[in-house]
Chains A and B, each alone.
Chain A
Amino acid sequence: MDKKLEKIIQALQNNFGATVEEFRDEAHVFVKVNQIVDALTLLRDKHEFELLSTMTAVDYWPQQSPRFHLIYQLTSLAQNLSVQLRVPLNGDQPKVPTATRVYQVANWREREAWDMFGIEFEGHPDPRSILLADDQEGHPLRKDFPLGYEEPQFSFNFDEIGLHKPEPKE
């Protein structure tokens, strides 16, 4: 790991008791839900991480618990570093404080995380769905959401699929 990055990770560990995992030369820092906004503020103000490159979530059900990992990828253009913060979350509708006050770009990312995973963000100024239709139920990127595909209609199952196909509109 980069020398400068080591100091920053050390600061995070001291302040928040965070655990670190390394993969090649990336650093993944695990923080808790109630510490995430403070950690982001610290990194932005003191350590010059100006850019929230991306914010997504991963669902590890049923292999791991806690099931969701919320991932914040921060980049420092001044120092040419990047660090990844992970927040493990559990439960059906986990609640996380919003990061929009720290990084404005998190606005749409959090809407996408709500839409696809069902992670709620407290204090978000505009909690609407962003990618899916309004009447979509469920959260598609969870591992227990059904795939939602349609069986291809070949000649051997032509009739039985034909029973369920929606009628062509008139």
Chain B
Amino acid sequence: MGIEQKLGNMGVVTTTLENTVNWARTGAMWPMLFGLACCAIEMMSAQAAHYDMSRFGMELMRASPRQSDLMIVAGRVSKKMGPVLRRLYDQMPEPKWVIAMGDCASCGGVFNNYAIFQGVDEVVPVDIYIAGCPPRPEALIHGVMTLHEKVRTEKFKDLAKG
């Protein structure tokens, strides 16, 4: 992003700016619809009225990777789906984060065989892993809050390239 490349490390100015930018990023982080299997149901119910995720900024889920910041991989990823997942991840603009939701996305879950990736971190870099089969909507919201805490501690110099 432009700010990181231009500013780098400038002391107090950068700190306040970092806080502001990180607060803005966590305030409206739009997830990309990537519900693959059963965890998608829990993701949908976390988005729905009872456990509302819009209170945390995820007002809507964008189906297009070009318009989203967060990819919640909800469900098992088969070897046939792997290149598709990687392509969609590459199409998301920076800054982007990935949550591996559920056991199948974190470690392969119950499916320990030739056709399922044992953990989606063989394909995309993951920031937060959420355990559960499927994780309750409260667990997904806890994962999202943890991601927000992680984003708030991000520094510009880590994200700047060159």
Question: What are 30 pairs between A and B in contact, CB < 8 Å?
Answer: A131-B80, A132-B80, A132-B115, A133-B78, A133-B80, A133-B82, A134-B80, A136-B79, A136-B114, A140-B115, A145-B114, A147-B113, A147-B114, A148-B113, A148-B114, A148-B115, A149-B112, A149-B113, A149-B114, A150-B112, A150-B118, A152-B112, A168-B121, A168-B122, A168-B126, A169-B121, A169-B122, A169-B124, A169-B125, A170-B125
Which chain B positions have C-beta within 8 A of A62?
none
Tell yes or no: A162 within 8 A of B by CB: no
The docked-state distance in angstroms from the alpha carbon of A163 to that of B50 is: 44
Within 8 A of A (CB), among B94-125: 108, 112-115, 118-119, 121-125
If A133-B80, A133-B82 touch, does A150 touch B108 (CB 8 Å cutoff)? yes
Residues of chain B at interface, number, CB under 8 A: 17
The docked-state distance in angstroms from the alpha carbon of A147 to that of B116 is: 12
Within 8 A of B (CB), among A116-151: 131-134, 136, 140, 145, 147-150
Tell yes or no: A91 within 8 A of B by CB: no
Which chain A positions have C-beta within 8 A of B108?
150
Which chain B positions have C-beta within 8 A of A136?
79, 114
Nearest residue, chain A, Cβ from B111:
A149
Q: Smallest distance from the beta carbon of A103 to chain B beta carbons, Å?
A: 26
Q: In the complex the two chains form, is B113's CB within 8 Å of A168's CB?
A: no
Which chain A positions have C-beta within 8 A of B121?
168-169
Which chain B positions have C-beta within 8 A of A132?
79-80, 115
Nearest residue, chain A, Cβ from B124:
A169
The docked-state distance in angstroms from the alpha carbon of A169 to that of B123 is: 6
Q: In the complex the two chains form, is B79's CB within 8 Å of A133's CB?
A: yes
Nearest residue, chain A, Cβ from B117:
A166
The docked-state distance in angstroms from the alpha carbon of A149 to that of B107 is: 12
The docked-state distance in angstroms from the alpha carbon of A131 to that of B114 is: 12
Given A132-B79, A148-B113, 4 other A-B residues pairs in contact with their CB atoms under 8 A: A140-B114, A149-B112, A168-B119, A170-B125
